Amino acid sequence: MDQHSPQKWFNLEEQFFKSLDNQLLEKIREQTDLVETAEEIMKLTGITSKEVATKIAALRISPQTLAAFCLVPLVAVAWASDDVDADERQVIEQAATAAGLDERCLKLLSGWLNRRPASELFDTWCEYAKVLVSSMDESHRVSLRDHIVGQSTAVAKASGGILGIGAISASEKAILERIKTALG
């Protein structure tokens, strides 16, 4: 076929538009995946800001990863006193239920509540949190921090003190400070 033939130009044009169509379709799929992932993140974690959830999804953080991410500090606070009591367990399980965690995440959580995780888990969480929040703008970072610190504080208050006095132990306060520092 002659390189200047109309058929050759038609074939080239077809290839060009097919490639362009495929690129556009891929962008639409990515955007749809981002929206769906953000909605799942909101459902699993209790984060109410669609902007924050979308920003997290754009970082390619899966909902299950984020769900586990949000639970680690709660577990660390519960273990600050060297055991997890029934009230702390109840607060953590309520947070997990409210987040709609899947069975795999619930099994992971149960294991963490029954047997103290290695200290490296919380250390790794702190490093991961620093990296995550460094890529977020201020309002999103504050929203995520408030969410996680609020839930962690609820665990700390669950079993301590009388009439709210001494409700948070020194070891729990230390863990809460590490959480706040990690989340900037």
What is the secondary structure of 130-179 as a DSSP string? HHHHHTS-HHHHHHHHHHHHHHHHHHHHHS--BTTBT-S-HHHHHHHHHH
Residue pair 66/56 in contact (Cβ under 8 Å)? The answer is: yes
Q: What is the pLDDT of residue 10?
A: 64
Q: How many whole angstroms separate alpha carbon 25 and alpha carbon 17?
A: 12
Q: What is the pLDDT of residue 99?
A: 73
pLDDT tens for the chain, 184 residues long, are 555 666 766 666 666 666 655 565 565 656 667 888 888 877 766 667 788 778 778 877 777 667 767 889 999 999 998 999 999 999 999 988 877 777 877 888 899 999 998 888 898 889 888 877 887 788 888 988 998 999 999 999 998 755 555 679 899 999 999 999 999 8
Q: What is the pLDDT of residue 36?
A: 87
* Predicted confidence (pLDDT) per residue in 98-120, tens digit: 777 778 778 888 999 999 988 88
